[in-house]
Structure 1
Amino acid sequence: MSSQTQPPLSDPPWLMGLPSPYYTDSHRRWQKACRAFIEENLIKNAMAWETEETLPGDVWEKFTAANMLIPSMPAPLPVEWLKKLGIQDILGAVKVEEFDYTHNAIYTDEMARSGLAGPSGSLTTGVSFGIPPLLKFGNKQLQERFMPELLRGEKRICIAITEPSAGSDVANIQTTAVKSEDGKHYIVNGTKKWITNGIWSHYATMAVRTGGLGASGLSLLLVPLLNYPGVSMRRLKVGGQISAGTTFIELDDVAVPVENLIGVEGMGMRYIMTNFNHERLQIAIGATRQARVALSAAFEYVMKREAFGKALIEQPVVRHRLAKAGALLESLQAWVEQFVYQMTKLTKEEADVELGGLTALAKAQAGIVLSECAQCAVLLFGGNGFTRTGQGEIAEKIYREVNGVRVPGGSEDVMLDLAIRQLVKNFKNKTKMLERPRGSSKL
């Protein structure tokens, strides 16, 4: 479908034929290749799979065979590892060494084009958030043991941070990892809750308490899951994103080799916070597309639905609702694109400092905008938007997924507070550098 025949707001402006400073020929080639592959292998069946609450196993195999889960990792990609495994490019559209954060954002956007976070999340969440800590902080020996099978998709991984009593309050994690008497294993005990992909995962990049109370007692550990002694898992019924495999994990004297420690004991909180920045930006990008799907579906519906003798689009109140939601959506789109561009220009260290607070703010704002757009769609669909089947099904499903954006990855209120605290901290650090040294007239 060309941009001329699509309902308004169906795609971001740059894909509707309007100029943009952010996208190169490489990005445009990548978007076309992404859309073709993802449409065929995910989008066209996503609604049915979400209703069935799981994806067929061959979907994972198709994506891994095409190396199409690797683009969910943060840019730059692990080029040395990929080339060692014979992976030179993705879909023949972009070389792995050329892949930047804009390529990543395009992929994330296309994966969310069904309007549902579950089908795509069931494939990407573990790769996107479980593998990066191994790459950034794991030693060479740990990477050699696990990276080949994870990057090839032979084994699956998840990220396991959240617990029943510790969601956004990461420093309060209770799961313990105590060294055995012979010093060869960590004995892990505790529970993890709301773990996406957990039910299918062979491993978890898991936050555990190896020391005392507070953030300084946390570490990251690669914990075996599937069929491993002492591990039991069950799926949780959640309001949205059902096919993503949200899982409750119980750990009862689970013996994990000490060699599975990621990085250094006591540095877990720092590693987790670094990983959160990528997660929150991914959530913001995906939520922006979900909001777009909801609003464009509503546009299409009100242009053909008649009431009181004329199409709904002829009613001023309908146009007013669409205008308010549309303005929020396109403002968010512009901010996200600017944000992604900044990620391509800053080093990882610079981005963590300068954009950490703003990432939290973008994630929170994405949830707020999605809520407004989803509610707008449900109201304009009327009774059809309150029905789980039929022409309003997409609006009903997206509306149920709103809180899956506003809570996970750091709940909205925590993100809003964190954003301002981080911005104030940066301001104070920068102004302190400008203070006159005591006893000196020089700046």
Structure 2
Amino acid sequence: MATISTIPFAEPPYLRLPSPYYTPAHRAFQKKCRAFLWEHLISNASTWEKEGQVPDHVFRTFCQHNMLLPNLPAPLPVQWLHKLGIREILDVPVAEWDYMYTGIYCDELSRSGLAGPAASLNAGFAFGIPPIIKYGSAELQERVLPDLLTGRKRACIAITEPEAGSDVANITTTATKSDDGKYYVINGTKKWITNGIWSDYTTMAVRTGGPGAAGLSVVLVPLKGYPGVTMRKLQIGGSRTSGTTYIELDDVRVPVANLIGREGEGMRIIMTNFNHERLTIAVGVTRQARVALSSAFQYCLKREAFGKTLMDQPVVRHRLAKAGAELETMWAWLEQILYQLCHLSKEEADRQLGGITGLAKAKAGMVLSECAQCAVLLFGGAGLTQSGQGELVEAIYRDAPSARVPGGSEDVLLDLAVRQMVKIYQVQEKKLRQAKL
């Protein structure tokens, strides 16, 4: 339901307790956001996930109400939105949108506890469109953004390949210029592409130069019905509604005007785009953990074993407490990052928070695994069954690996975070030494 739950761990603390991060405007948006999402997504999410498809009309409804725009990085592209006649999102002026609104939205979007239904809607806005807004030429933006920002056409992002996932620098899909220099001729494969099967365009990482990161570029590639493009839907363990897709490209001719940024800038574009992707994933994953743990808490209050409720068993309370501490610590950290993003420039945030955001995304996956496993164990056999009172925690448990791999697999992000911390430290130490001279 759209009401605030009283079950322990079911809601982020700011909904019941004071918080320095949220204004009255943020709180008003949360109420409207929850009501909208309950009506148009959350109330049917479980049914649609079982069926493996979110109906097409849901995407159209969200776009009609500007409710996929919150997936874009903050601040929003106000000039473009005003040009398209878009001035507010549930009464919040687009010019006033900040990352605290983004955090509220991403948390509420995942309140079903299932990753798939939300992922079926938001991947293009969250990951595919932002590079066009930030790095695309004026001509490219004029050509595609009016349709993409209003949802008349759909987009996705295509980086991962069968042999190159988190190892972005070793992407092998090639983009070679035609003899007349007017086209990139693209050959290769992309795998595990969320929303690909429905997308008109994809923001794609390709190799335009030599080996390694310096040879990478980003190109906007047409998909549905485009000559040389073949797509098929993949069946994965969780997130059945996310439209995960395998894409094959056979001499696909794309105008050179579809280049995003400059040739050779692909690695930088991809890495900075990852920061927003990882943050939104972390917020949604943390809400999934919250749903799993609160479901277990509620179950333990009523389920009886050995002559008493599960909640009367000290070992059960201990397990809930351990998982709950991880959950609320994670949420507090995410609120801190969201607040910092509201007060840093994009360039400074990329520099200072890139590694931290990667670390937070990795940790959120660990927290989800802890909370989902806790819930399954406390539900017992019901937690292993895809029907009945434990079906939701069973589905969340299947989703857990999908939280720990996309956007950079867990071990890669842990290493990335420390390497970036070392880099920042070395730069700061150098500045201090120079200041003393």
Change (3 A) 1:314 1:243: same
Q: Partners in 2 of 1:41 and 1:3 — Cα distance?
A: 15
Name the SS for the 1:192 alignment partner.
strand
In the alignment, what sits opposite 2:348?
350
The answer to whether 1:61 aligns with 2:74 is no
Give, in angstroms, the shift of residue 126 of structure 1: 1.1
C-alpha displacement of 1:309: 1.3
The residue that corresponds to 1:364 in the other structure is 362
1:137-176 Cα distance to aligned partner (Å, 9 max, x none): 0010000000000011000000000000000000000000
Amino acid at match of 1:419: A
Conserved in 1, the CA contact under 8 Å of 2:281 and 2:403? Answer: yes
Give the structure-1-normalised TM-score: 0.97
Within the candidate set 223, 228, 237, 1:225 is matched to: 223
Q: Distance in 2 between matches of 1:430 and 1:4?
A: 45
Q: Which amino acid aligns with 2:359?
A: L
After TM superposition, where is structure 1 displaced by more than 3 Å over at least 4 residues in a row?
Answer: 1-5
- Within the alignment, does 1:196 sit opposite 2:184 as a pair? no
For 2:127, the equivalent position in structure 1 comes to: 129
Q: Could you tell me which residue of structure 2 aligns to residue 33 of structure 1?
A: 32
Change (3 A) 1:4 1:409: closer
- In structure 1, the residue matched to 2:14 is 14
Aligned-partner Cα distance in 2 for 1:222–1:4: 42
In the alignment, structure 1 residue 187 sits paired with structure 2 residue 185: yes
Q: Aligned partners of 2:406, 2:98: CA distance in 1, in Å?
A: 25
Q: Secondary structure at the match of 1:362?
A: helix
SS in 2 for 1:319: helix
Per the TM alignment, residue 3 of structure 1 is displaced from its structure 2 partner at its CA by 8.0
Equivalent pairs counted in the alignment come to: 437
Sort the Cα spacing of 1:4 and 1:405 in 2 relative to 1 into closer, same or farther, 3 A.
closer
Equivalent AA in structure 1 for residue 95 of structure 2: E
Letter of the 1:325 partner, please give it: A
Partner Cα distance (1:134, 1:180) in 2: 23
Give the C-alpha shift of residue 6 in structure 1: 2.0
Return the alpha-carbon distance in structure 2 between the equivalents of residues 375 and 126 of structure 1.
31
Percent of aligned positions that are identical: 65
* Of 152, 173, 178, the match for 1:175: 173
State the Cα distance separating 1:4 from its structure 2 match: 8.2
CA distance in 2, matches of 1:108, 1:243: 17
Question: Are 1:243 and 2:212 counterparts?
Answer: no
For 1:162, the equivalent position in structure 2 comes to 160
Stretch of structure 1 that moved more, 253-262 or 428-437: 428-437
Q: CA deviation at 1:127?
A: 1.1
Partners of 2:2 and 2:38 within 8 A in 1: no
Q: Distance in 1 between matches of 2:434 and 2:273?
A: 36
CA distance in structure 1 between the aligned counterparts of 2:429 and 2:40, rounded to whole angstroms: 52
In the alignment, structure 1 segments of 5+ residues that lack a partner are none
- CA distance in 1 between counterparts of 2:340 and 2:434 reads 32
Q: Which residue of 2 aligns with 1:98?
A: 96
Cα distance in 2 for residues equivalent to 1:436 and 1:167: 40
2:186 touches 2:250 (CA, 8 Å); kept in 1?
yes
- Structure 2 CA distance for aligned equivalents of residues 60 and 316 of structure 1: 46
Whether the 8 Å CA contact 2:4–2:11 is kept in 1: the answer is no
Q: Could you report, residue by residue, the CA deviation over 1:397-420 in whole angstroms, capped at 9, with x for unpaired residues?
A: 000011111111000000000000
Q: CA RMSD in A?
A: 1.1
Letter in 2 for 1:24: T
The answer to whether 1:50 aligns with 2:61 is no
2:2, 2:149 → 1: CA distance?
Answer: 35
Match of 2:306 in 1: 308
Specify the SS of the correspondent of 2:432: coil
Counterpart residue identity of residue 354, structure 1 = Q
Partner of 1:261: 259
- Separation in 1, partners of 2:4, 2:57: 35
How far has the Cα of 1:434 moved from its partner? 1.6
TM-superposed CA distance for 1:228, in Å, is 0.4
- Of the candidates 205, 208, 226, which is equivalent to residue 206 of structure 2? 208
